[in-house]
Amino acid sequence: MSDLQTIRLHVNGQPHSCAVPARLHLVDLLRDELGLKGSHLGCEHGVCGACTVEVDGRVVRGCLTLAVQADGRQVRTVEGMKDLPDARALQQSFIRHNALQCGFCTPGMLMAARELVQHKPDATREEVREWMSGNFCRCTGYHAIVDAVCEVLAQRNLESAA
Amino acid sequence: MKAPEFDYVKARSVAQALSLLTEYGDEARILAGGQSLLPALNMRLSEPSLLIDIGGIDALRGIQLMRASLRIGALTTHTDIENSALVAQHAPLLKLAVGHIAHRAIRNAGTWGGSIANADPAAEWPCCLLVLDGTVIVQGPGGERRIAAANFFTGLYETAMADDEILLGCELPLADRDDWFGFQELARRHGDYAIAGLAMHLRFAGPVVQSARLSWLGLNSTPLRSRKTEALLAGKPLDATTLEMVTASLKEELEPIADLTNTGATKKHLATVLARRLLTQANATRQSVAA
C-alpha cells in the first residue's frame, strides 16, 4: 500500500526529481536509479562503511538513510569527488601507498577521509585510526590507508605553514 | 537486507506527528536520525506500518543554555554535541562519552533524542542522562510532561513514555567547578556495543569526595546506578583503601546479566576494572589541580 514519494535532491551538483518507495535506501537510489555504482553495498546494516556518502557536507551511511530523508538535500558520492582538490590528493595518496587492493571499501574510505581532512586537519595518527574505524577493509590491514590519510594531512599542514 | 514496506509521512510539526501517533498507535514508529531504527528495519526486527519522520521539525534541534540547565533538543545529532562549546563547558561528560558512539558517519545522523527514547541498555546517552540526573521532556495529546531520568528507563528498550508521546528534549544540570566527570567503556572493537561501560560524576570537597554517582551501561536491561557504592564513597579520599572498598562493594552490589559472549562474572570483573581506572584518573586529575 506504500505510495511512491516524490523527492528532489542534488547529487554531485546535478538536480534530480525521483519517485521512490519510502523503504528505498539512499544508496540503492544512487546505484540503481541514478546509475552511480561507486557507492558500494556491503553489510546493509551500518557496520562496514562501504556505502558512505555525503549528505549536506557530512558523511552518512547510505544504507541507514532512506532516499526520502535526502529530499531537498545535497548528496555527494565518490563520483563527485574528482573535481575536489582534497579528494584528488587523497586518491593520489591512496595509490602511492597501495592503500587498496580489491577497492571495494575505497569509495567509503575516501568519503570518510575527506571529512576528516576538512574538519580535523591537525588529527594525530591515533585520531585518524579512530576516525577511519567505521570503514572496514578486508585486504590491506589498514596501515597503508592510515599512512595515506596521514600523508595528506601532513602535506596540507606544510602548505598552510608555507 | 532491505527494509520491509511501510508508509511514510514527513511531519511538519510536533502536533501533526502527535495526531498521527494517536491514530496509528504502536503500528507507527518515529523516525529521527534512524541509526537504530533503520538497522532494525533492514534486519526485519521491526515492521511498522508507518514511519513518522520528525527530521524536518527544526524546533526540536539545538542546544540551549537555560538559567540552571543545558537543554538538548531531541534532534540534536551526536556530532552537534561533539562540536558544541556549550556542552564542553556545561556538560563535559557528554564530550568524554561521544567518541564511544559508533563512528563518525553514524554520529552525523544519529540523534540525542533517538538514543534516549530507544533506551538501549548498552547506549551511551541513557547512561549519561542517568548519572547527570537529567530530566526528559515529552509531549503527548494532553501536553508536556517532565520525567526524571531515574524514573525514565523502565526495562529493555522500554521507557516511561506512553505510545502517544514524543520526546522533545532533555535538560541537564550545569557542571560545577567542584565536579569531576569520567567515562569509559570496554568493547571488543572501537564503536562496537560495549561489554560494560561506566559514567562517573564526583563532586569534591577539597581532596575528599563529597558525593558520587556511578551509572553503568551494558550490564543489565537498563542503565543503572550503584547507589550503595556511591554512598560509601561520600566523605572518602581516593586512596588505595577506598579503591579496595569500592571494588569489594561493587562485587556485592552489581548483578550483571550475561550476553552472547560474556558471562555475568566477566562483566562484574570488568565493571570493577572500569571503576578503579576512573577513580585513579579522578585522583590524579584532582592532585594536579591542587599542585
Q: Give me the mean pLDDT over the A99-120 stretch.
A: 97
**Residue linked to cell 546506578:** B225
Q: Do A46 and B106 touch (CB under 8 A)?
A: yes
Domain residue spans of chain B:
7-53, 63-173, 179-290
Contact criterion met (CB below 8 Å) for B160 and B147: yes
Distance CA B237, CA A110 (A): 49
Mutation for testing the B interface, residue in A61, A68, A77 having most B CBs under 10 Å: A61
Separation CA B287–CA A2 (nearest Å): 62
CATH fold group of domain A82-161 = DNA polymerase; domain 1 (1.10.150)
Is residue A74 within 8 angstroms of chain B, CB to CB? Answer: no
Task: Verify whether the Cβ–Cβ distance B109 to A21 is below 8 Å.
Answer: no
Nearest CA of chain A to the CA of B48: how many Å?
Answer: 11
- For CATH 3.10.20.30, list the domain ranges present in chain A: 4-80
CATH architecture of residue range(s) B63-173: 2-Layer Sandwich (3.30)
- From the list B183, B209, B34, B210, the residue with the least C-alpha distance to B113 is B34
Q: Look up residue B195 and give its three cell numbers.
A: 561489554
3-state secondary structure of A99: coil
CB contact burial B172-205 (16+ within 10 A = b; e otherwise) = bbbbeeebbbbbbbbeeeebebbbbbbbbbbebe
User: Smallest Cα–Cα separation from B117: which of B64, B60, B198, B66?
Assistant: B60
Chain segment A16-60, per-residue pLDDT in tens: 999 999 999 999 999 999 999 999 999 999 999 999 999 999 999
The gap between the terminal CA atoms of chain B, to the nearest Å, is 57
List Cβ neighbours of B149 (8 Å cut-off, separation of 6 or more).
Answer: B129, B130, B132, B133, B134, B135, B136
Q: What is the pLDDT of residue B189?
A: 80
Supply the pLDDT for residue B215.
98
Q: With 50 as the cut, is the pLDDT of residue A1 above it?
A: no
Q: What is the mean pLDDT of chain B?
A: 96
Structural class in CATH, domain B7-53: alpha beta
Q: How far is CA A74 from CA A10, A11, A77, in A?
A: 5, 6, 10
Decide if B15 touches A, using CB distance below 8 A. Answer: no
pLDDT value of position B192: 78
Q: How confident is the model at residue A5 (pLDDT cuts 50, 70, 90)?
A: very high
Predicted-complex ipTM score? 0.95
What pLDDT shows up at residue A2? Answer: 59
**pLDDT tens digits for B209-218?**
999 999 999 9
Residue of B8, B77, B111 to mutate, interface with A, max A Cβ within 10 Å: B8
CATH architecture of structural domain B179-290: 2-Layer Sandwich (3.30)
Sites in chain B below the pLDDT cut of 70:
288-291
**Contact between residue A41 and residue A22 where contact means Cβ atoms under 8 Å apart:** no
Whole-structure pTM value: 0.95
Side chain identity, residue B113: G
Look at residues A37, A135, A153 and name the one whose alpha carbon lies nearest to residue A93: A153
Hunting for cell 571529512 — which residue is that?
A115
Is B44 at the interface with chain A, CB within 8 A?
no
Stretch(es) of chain A classified as CATH 1.10.150.120: 82-161
Residue range A4-80, CATH number: 3.10.20.30
Instruction: Output the pLDDT for position B117.
Output: 98
The pLDDT score that the predictor gives to residue B28 is: 96
